[in-house]
């Protein structure tokens, strides 16, 4: 809802019966609302393009475009709430009206007092939704600021993988989008990807930047970074499973990963996606202990081990975003 909530609320009445429109208009204006009229769905859509309307009250049976079709279009393309109005209660009850996209239901013959109560309730709900969305946006901004700070901390600590987390997050989100995963889960993947190596701040810099092969002791110490990252994040009240994704980003579906040795569906889908993105970026990029292997080698690794080490769907989506959709890592 991006309208100025301080202005007078505006209602659009849609009915092919002029007497009904006038009756409602008088009542609505008496309560201090701005009122517009339309005699059918097509006129209503034209009015929505011209005017700042908050709520639409529409009859069902109208020529050219009925109220149900109008409601479907409004729900899909606009921000207005719709109150459905009809005299044919045997064909449509309250539950049906809500299922078809209406926020409320008015039965004819019209009771003006009842209409006024329903309109006030709808505007009260719009106000509550606006305040909730505003609070959620503020929370999101705070969370993203924290993620950015943590991400920068890791990159200062481990300059050799500068940009790695950002690139992994970008690829993981592209994979998730191809898999048609929900926006909330993609958002969790994006934020977790940006800090998935947070635990490396506890690893000595000489190990992170060592040009040769790590000793067993050094490698075992490096393997603690998912646990360390989880320990840092677990008590932060994220509304998304960011800490768990960070914890599981080195697990493998055959149980050969760490730190928990999880298998298959015991690993969060978001983490299974992160694993694939992490491997692809790491193999394609330069590391202190080896030159870049290139994306072709990385995709060969993912293709060869999909269904055994890597989640099949995530691996297939990764191959697709590179080979068919032209994904490239940013420098």
For every residue of 275-306, DSSP letters joined together read HHHHHHHHHHS-BTTB----HHHHHHHHHHTB
Domain extent at residue 225? 158-323
- Residue 17 carries which DSSP code? -
Domain-embedded: residue 2: no
Q: Please check whether residues 171 and 316 belong to one and the same domain.
A: yes
Q: Please check whether residues 24 and 87 belong to one and the same domain.
A: yes
Domain-embedded: residue 113: yes
Domain-embedded: residue 67: yes
pLDDT score for 15: 93
Q: What is the CATH number of the domain that holds 108?
A: 3.40.50.2300
Q: Mean pLDDT of all residues in the chain?
A: 88
Domain-embedded: residue 266: yes
Record the tokens describing residue 206, joined without a space: 């000489």
What is the SS3 assignment for 57? strand
CB contact at 8 A, 14 and 38: yes
- Calculate the alpha carbon distances from 262 to 87, 192, 216 in Å: 59, 19, 22
Q: Of 148, 152, 170, 177, whose CA–CA distance to 162 is shortest?
A: 152
pLDDT score for 102: 79
CB contact at 8 A, 55 and 62: no
Q: Please check whether residues 276 and 192 belong to one and the same domain.
A: yes
Task: Report which of residues 96 and 113 the model is more confident about.
Answer: 113
Domain-embedded: residue 329: no
Q: Please check whether residues 104 and 18 belong to one and the same domain.
A: yes
Q: Of 18, 8, 327, whose CA–CA distance to 174 is shortest?
A: 327
Does 265 have pLDDT greater than 50? yes
Number of domains composing the chain:
2
Averaged pLDDT, 159-186: 91
pLDDT score for 91: 53
Domain-embedded: residue 144: no
Grade residue 5 by pLDDT with cuts at 50, 70 and 90. Answer: very low
Does 88 have pLDDT greater than 70? no
User: CB under 8 Å to 101, separation ≥6 — which residues?
Assistant: 71, 72, 74, 75, 82
pLDDT score for 103: 80
Of the candidates 84, 112, 131, which is a domain's last residue?
131
Domain-embedded: residue 153: no
CA torsion angle for 268, 173, 195, 242 (degrees, to 10)? -40
Burial of 165 (0-12, 13-18, 19+ CB in 10 A): buried
Record the tokens describing residue 64, joined without a space: 């050219």
pLDDT score for 97: 63
Q: What is the CATH number of the domain that holds 298?
A: 1.10.3210.10
Task: Kindly state the percentage of the chain with pLDDT values over 90.
Answer: 55
Task: Report which of residues 154 and 27 the model is more confident about.
Answer: 27
pLDDT tens digits for range 40-65 = 999 999 999 999 999 999 988 888 88
Q: Of 305, 319, 304, 301, whose CA–CA distance to 174 is shortest?
A: 319
Of the candidates 116, 131, 146, which is a domain's last residue?
131
Sign of the torsion formed by the C-alpha atoms of 94, 100, 106 and 107: negative
Grade residue 1 by pLDDT with cuts at 50, 70 and 90. Answer: very low
Q: Please check whether residues 221 and 118 belong to one and the same domain.
A: no
Q: Please check whether residues 126 and 177 belong to one and the same domain.
A: no
Q: Are strands 104-107 and 34-38 parallel, antiparallel or unpaired?
A: unpaired
Q: Please check whether residues 317 and 208 belong to one and the same domain.
A: yes
Burial of 202 (0-12, 13-18, 19+ CB in 10 A): middle
Q: Please check whether residues 210 and 302 belong to one and the same domain.
A: yes
pTM of structure: 0.66
pLDDT score for 158: 72
DSSP 200-245: GGGS-HHHHT-SSPPPHHHHHHHTTHHHHHHHHHTTS--SS-HHHH
pLDDT score for 236: 85
pLDDT tens digits for range 287-318 = 877 888 999 999 999 999 999 999 999 999 99
Distance CA 239, CA 75 (A): 27
pLDDT score for 169: 95
Grade residue 105 by pLDDT with cuts at 50, 70 and 90. Answer: confident
CB half-sphere exposure, 141, CA atoms < 13 A: 6
Q: Please check whether residues 122 and 57 belong to one and the same domain.
A: yes
Domain-embedded: residue 148: no
Of the candidates 131, 150, 185, which is a domain's last residue?
131
Q: Please check whether residues 222 and 292 belong to one and the same domain.
A: yes
Does 252 have pLDDT greater than 90? yes
Q: Please check whether residues 123 and 182 belong to one and the same domain.
A: no
Q: Please check whether residues 89 and 192 belong to one and the same domain.
A: no
Q: Of 322, 302, 306, whose CA–CA distance to 178 is shortest?
A: 322
Grade residue 96 by pLDDT with cuts at 50, 70 and 90. Answer: low
pLDDT tens digits for range 112-164 = 888 888 888 888 888 888 887 787 778 778 778 888 888 877 777 776 666 89
């Amino acid at each position: 809802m991006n309208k100025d909530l301080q202005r007078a609320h505006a209602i659009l009445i849609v009915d092919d019966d002029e007497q009904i429109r006038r009756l409602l208009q008088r009542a609505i204006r008496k309560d201090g609302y701005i009122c517009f009229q339309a005699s059918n769905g097509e006129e209503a859509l034209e009015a929505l393009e011209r005017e700042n309307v908050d709520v639409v009250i529409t009859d069902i049976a109208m020529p050219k475009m009925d109220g149900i079709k109008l409601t479907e279009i409004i729900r899909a393309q606009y921000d207005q709430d719709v109150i459905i109005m009809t005299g044919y209660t045997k064909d449509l009850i309250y539950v049906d009206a809500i299922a078809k996209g209406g926020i409320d239901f008015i039965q004819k013959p019209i009771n003006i007092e009842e209409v006024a109560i329903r309109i006030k309730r709808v505007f009260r709900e719009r106000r509550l939704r606006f305040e909730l969305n505003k609070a959620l946006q503020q929370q999101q901004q705070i969370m993203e600021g924290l993620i950015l700070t943590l991400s920068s901390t890791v990159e200062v600590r481990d300059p050799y993988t500068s940009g790695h987390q950002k690139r992994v997050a970008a690829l993981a989100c592209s994979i998730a989008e191809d898999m048609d995963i929900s926006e909330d889960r993609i958002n969790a993947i994006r934020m977790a990807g940006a800090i998935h190596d947070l635990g490396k701040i506890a690893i000595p810099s000489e190990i992170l930047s060592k040009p040769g092969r790590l000793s067993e002791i050094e490698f075992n110490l490096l393997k603690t970074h998912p646990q360390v990252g989880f320990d840092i994040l677990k008590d932060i009240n994220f509304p998304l499973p960011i800490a768990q994704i960070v914890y599981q980003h080195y697990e493998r579906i055959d149980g050969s990963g760490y730190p928990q040795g999880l298998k298959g569906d015991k690993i969060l889908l978001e983490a299974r996606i992160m694993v694939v993105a992490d491997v692809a970026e790491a193999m394609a990029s330069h590391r202190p202990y080896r030159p870049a292997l290139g994306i072709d080698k990385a995709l060969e690794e993912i293709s060869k081990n999909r269904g055994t080490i890597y989640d099949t769907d995530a691996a297939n989506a990764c191959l697709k975003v590179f080979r068919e959709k032209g994904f490239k890592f940013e420098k």
